[in-house]
C-alpha cells in the first residue's frame, strides 16, 4: 500500500492524540515501518525531546496544581497526553486504564492510583502475562475488587470473576465453579494501608487441590494465571479488544483470528501492534475515520493543536462528555462507541469547542502558519485551519458550509479575529472532528 499523507494521519490519529503537521511530515520522511517502530519503541517521531514537567511545577487557571487533588491529577494526565513524544505509550496507558478499570470513587487513595497508572505505562507495550500477574497484586486493584477480604474458608470471588470475564477470557469461557475455585487460588494476599506494603499470609491461603478450566492442582495466585493463558479464548478476547480500540468497531472473524494468532505467538503487545500497524488492512479506506474519538482523545487533541494554557476545566469537560480519568463507571470500564455521542455528551463537546476557540491566542491567528496570500480562496482557508485543528480531511458538505462561513466573516473583511475563531469553532464541532 502507498505511504501517503492520508495513511500517516490515520496512523497518528489511532496511536496518539491527533496529528500535527510536524508529526505527519516526520512520518512521511521516515516511512511506514520506521514510523511504527518508533511509536512502539516510545521514540520521538520528530527527534524532539519531551518537555513534560512534574505536576508540582505546573499551574492551572493561575493556581498551583496539587498532587492530592483528583481533578488536578486528571488535568496533569491530559497535559502529559498533549506534550508526550511517546504517544502510543500514553495511548496504551489509557487503554489499560479502561481494561483493568479501577476507580478513585472506591479506592480513595490517589498515590495508589498513580502507582497503578505508572504500572500501565511501564507495561504499556510489554508482556501481557507479566502485566496480569502484576495487576493481581496491585494495591489499587486489590482495594477496588476486595482482594483484601479474600481468605481461606471465606474466599471473595470479585477478582477471580473479573480476571476471567473482563481481563483475559470474556463471558462464556468459564463456569461459576471455575470462579469459585480460582478465588481459592488467590487467597492469602493482603495490602496493608498503614505500612503501605503487600503481604502474603500462608495461613490465610487455601493450599488445597482445585479444578480450574479442566486442570487440577494446588493452584496459587501465579499458577492460576498460567491456566488462563493456556485457553484459546484469551488471545481471541485480547485481539477483539485491541482491534476495537485501534481499528474498527466490529472486526471481521478473519481479522480477529489473524491478530489472535499474532497475540498467541508474540512476546509482547508491542509486537502484536507492530504487525497490525504495518498491515494493509489497517489502512483500508473503510477503516480510516471509522471510530469515534473518546472524550479524552477529543479534549487532548484540541489542547495539543492550539497549545491552550492549562485549566482544570479540561478535565471537567471530559467528564461532561462521559469520560472521567481515574473514575471509570464500573469495573467494565467505558462502553465507548456511539455512547460517546449521546445528546448531552455531544452538547458538552460543542461547549468545549467554543471555550477552546475563545482561549486561542490572537498572536497565533496572526502568525505565518495561519496566513495565506490574497489569492487564496475561502476553501483554501478552511483546509489550512482544519489541519491546524487536527482535522485533516473534511467531507464535501462540511467544506462547503465552512467555506461560506469563512467567506462571510473574515476572508474579505479587515477585522478577521472573530471570524477566524468562529471558523475554528465550527471545524471542531464538525462531524469529521468527532472521528478518527
Per-residue pLDDT of the chain (436 residues), as tens digits, is 899 999 999 999 999 999 999 999 999 999 999 999 999 999 999 999 989 999 999 999 999 999 999 999 999 999 999 999 999 999 999 999 999 999 999 999 999 999 999 999 999 999 999 999 999 999 999 999 999 999 999 999 999 999 999 999 999 999 999 999 999 999 999 999 999 999 999 999 999 999 999 999 999 999 999 999 999 999 999 999 999 999 999 999 999 999 999 999 999 999 999 999 999 999 999 999 999 999 999 999 999 999 899 999 999 999 999 999 999 999 999 999 999 999 999 999 999 999 999 999 999 999 999 999 999 999 999 999 999 999 999 999 999 999 999 999 998 888 899 999 999 999 999 999 999 9
Residues 6+ apart with CB under 8 A from 199: 189, 190, 191, 192
Contacts of 335 (CB under 8 A, 6+ apart): none
DSSP string, 123-187: TTTS-HHHHHHHHHT-HHHHHHTTGGG-BTTB---HHHHHIIIIIIS-TTSS-HHHHHHHHHHTT
Integer Cα distance of 184 and 249 in angstroms: 36
Place of cell 469459585: 180
Distance, in Å, from the CA atom of 260 to the CA atom of 255, rounded to the nearest integer, reads 8
The set of residues, in sequence order, having a beta carbon less than 8 Å from that of 135 and lying 6+ positions away, is 100, 119, 141, 167
Helices (H), ranges, 343-416: 343-359, 362-365, 378-388, 396-406
- In the structure grid, which three cell numbers stand for residue 371, read together? 496566513
Q: How far apart are CA 430 and CA 389, in angstroms?
A: 11
CA dihedral of residues 62, 66, 72, 77 (deg, nearest 10): 110
d(CA 61, CA 65): 9
Quote the CA–CA distance of 367 and 149 in Å, as a whole number.
60
Beta strands in 42-154 (DSSP E): 59-60, 63-64
Domain boundaries, the chain: 295-434
Cα 38 from Cα 42, distance rounded (Å): 6
Residue 247's CB: how many other CB atoms inside 10 A?
20
In the 8-state DSSP scheme, what is residue 281? G
b/e 150-170 (16+ beta carbons within 10 angstroms → b): bbbeebbbbbbbbbbbbbbbb
Dist CA 129 CA 231 (whole Å): 13
Match 471455575 to its residue by C-alpha cell: 178
Distance CA 434, CA 364 (A): 24
How far lies 170's CA from each of 89, 94, 196, 330, in Å?
A: 25, 20, 32, 16
Please say whether the beta carbons of 17 and 300 come within 8 A.
yes
For the record, the C-alpha cell of 375 comes out as: 489569492
pTM value surpassing 0.85: yes
Q: 142 exposed, middle or buried (CB, 10 Å; 0-12, 13-18, 19+)?
A: buried
Alpha-carbon dihedral sign for residues 335, 338, 339, 340: positive
Can you list the alpha helix ranges (DSSP code H) found in 165-312? 176-185, 223-228, 233-246, 253-265, 269-277, 295-306
Helix or strand (DSSP H, E) at 7: helix 5-15
Asked if residue 141 lies in contact with residue 167, where contact means CB atoms within 8 angstroms, the answer is no
Amino acid at each position: 500500500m502507498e505511504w501517503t499523507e492520508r495513511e500517516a494521519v490515520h496512523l497518528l490519529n489511532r496511536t496518539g492524540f491527533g496529528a500535527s503537521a510536524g508529526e505527519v511530515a516526520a512520518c512521511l520522511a521516515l516511512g511506514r515501518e520506521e514510523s511504527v517502530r518508533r511509536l512502539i519503541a516510545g521514540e520521538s517521531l520528530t527527534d524532539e525531546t519531551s518537555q513534560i514537567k512534574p505536576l508540582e511545577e505546573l499551574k492551572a487557571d493561575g493556581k498551583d496544581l496539587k498532587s492530592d487533588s483528583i481533578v488536578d491529577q486528571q488535568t496533569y494526565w491530559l497535559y502529559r497526553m498533549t506534550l508526550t513524544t511517546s504517544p502510543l505509550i500514553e495511548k496504551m496507558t489509557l487503554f489499560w486504564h479502561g481494561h483493568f478499570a479501577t476507580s478513585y470513587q472506591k479506592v480513595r487513595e490517589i498515590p495508589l492510583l498513580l502507582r497503578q497508572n505508572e504500572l500501565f505505562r511501564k507495561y504499556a507495550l510489554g508482556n501481557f502475562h507479566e502485566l496480569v500477574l502484576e495487576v493481581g497484586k496491585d494495591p489499587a486493584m486489590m482495594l477496588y475488587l476486595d482482594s483484601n477480604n479474600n481468605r481461606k474458608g471465606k474466599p471473595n470471588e470479585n477478582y477471580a470473576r473479573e480476571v476471567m470475564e473482563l481481563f483475559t477470557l470474556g463471558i462464556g469461557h468459564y463456569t461459576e465453579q471455575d470462579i469459585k475455585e480460582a478465588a481459592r487460588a488467590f487467597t492469602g494476599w493482603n495490602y496493608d494501608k498503614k505500612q503501605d506494603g503487600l503481604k502474603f499470609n500462608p495461613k490465610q491461603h487455601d493450599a488445597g487441590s482445585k479444578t480450574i478450566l479442566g486442570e487440577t492442582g494446588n493452584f496459587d495466585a501465579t499458577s492460576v494465571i498460567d491456566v488462563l493463558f493456556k485457553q484459546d479464548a484469551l488471545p481471541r478476547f485480547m485481539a477483539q479488544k485491541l482491534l476495537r480500540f485501534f481499528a474498527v468497531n466490529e472486526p471481521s472473524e478473519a481479522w480477529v483470528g489473524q491478530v489472535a494468532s499474532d497475540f498467541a505467538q508474540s512476546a509482547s503487545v508491542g509486537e502484536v501492534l507492530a504487525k497490525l500497524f504495518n498491515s494493509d488492512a489497517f489502512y483500508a479506506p473503510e477503516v480510516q475515520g471509522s471510530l469515534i474519538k473518546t472524550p479524552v482523545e477529543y479534549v487532548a487533541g484540541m489542547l495539543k493543536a492550539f497549545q491552550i494554557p492549562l485549566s482544570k476545566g479540561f478535565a471537567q469537560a471530559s467528564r461532561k462528555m462521559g469520560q472521567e480519568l481515574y473514575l471509570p463507571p464500573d469495573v467494565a470500564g467505558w462502553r465507548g462507541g456511539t455512547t460517546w455521542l449521546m445528546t448531552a455528551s455531544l452538547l458538552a463537546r460543542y461547549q468545549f469547542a467554543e471555550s477552546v476557540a475563545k482561549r486561542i491566542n490572537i498572536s497565533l491567528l496572526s502568525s505565518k502558519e495561519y496566513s495565506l496570500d490574497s489569492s487564496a480562496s475561502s476553501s483554501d482557508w478552511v483546509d489550512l485551519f482544519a489541519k491546524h485543528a487536527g482535522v485533516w480531511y473534511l467531507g464535501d458538505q462540511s467544506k462547503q458550509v465552512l467555506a461560506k462561513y469563512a467567506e462571510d466573516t473574515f476572508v474579505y473583511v479587515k477585522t478577521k479575529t472573530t471570524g477566524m475563531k468562529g471558523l475554528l469553532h465550527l471545524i471542531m464541532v464538525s462531524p469529521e472532528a468527532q472521528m478518527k
